[in-house]
Amino acid sequence: MRSSDNRAFKEWAVVCRALALGRQTLILRKGGIAEGPDGFEVTDRQFFLFPTYLHQAPASVIPEWREALEECATDPTPGRIVISHYCVVASWLKMTSLDKLRALEGLHIWSDEIVAERFHRWSQESVVAMMVRVYALRRPVVLDCMKEYAGCKSWITLADQVSLEELRPVLDDEVFERRLAEMKAVVS
């Protein structure tokens, strides 16, 4: 496994936690303001998770994850970022049916309200669904935040190299393949 030019994906800290615990294997993304009128694109198939603390709100996640969101509401290391997980995209699809998007419930922690809001946001009715295989780094790496990391954008390039030695999959092969099959069954 190799780093794709040290690329990182900015995601809510609570979603990063769900991915790290194996509760979630699906990332839903509409796109940040900085991504322009075409919205989010899957430009990298391998990336580090970069937890963010802005825009998280209790109504954005399912009730069972609201307590976790409260725990993830405040940046524990202001001015620094903790990189602890790496993802490989197994499959992705631009979802243009809200009904099919809603049928992915259980594979992510977004609430029904945020799913609908993101689907209808801006001019294009769609959301990208990325099924990812998540790996834990041997040891979390703490990096300084840089001004280049700021802003409403999904993809960034880390200034520091992060080792991919001794990665450990969060889910075993059988569980991950079962979830991937669930997603494919819903969207086919």
* Residue 171 in this model has a pLDDT that exceeds 90: yes
**1 falls within a domain:** no
Is residue 49 one of the residues assigned to a domain? yes
User: Average pLDDT of the chain?
Assistant: 91
Can you list the alpha helix ranges (DSSP code H) found in 9-153?
13-20, 66-71, 98-102, 112-120
Q: Quote the pLDDT of residue 76.
A: 83
Q: Is residue 171 part of a domain?
A: yes
Task: Give me 71's structure tokens.
Answer: 């725990």
How far apart are alpha carbons 174 and 170 in whole angstroms? 12
Name the pLDDT band for 40 (thresholds 50, 70, 90): confident
pLDDT at residue number 33? 67
Reported as a single tens digit per residue, the pLDDT across 114-132 is 999 999 987 789 999 999 9
Residue 164 lies in a domain: yes
**Domain tally, the chain:** 1
**Mean pLDDT throughout 38-45?**
86
What is the pTM assigned to this prediction?
0.93
Full residue range of the structural domain in which residue 66 is found: 7-187
Q: For residues 66 and 4, what is the distance between their CA atoms, to the nearest angstrom?
A: 33
Indicate whether 37 pLDDT > 80. no
Residue where the block lists tokens 């405040």? 74
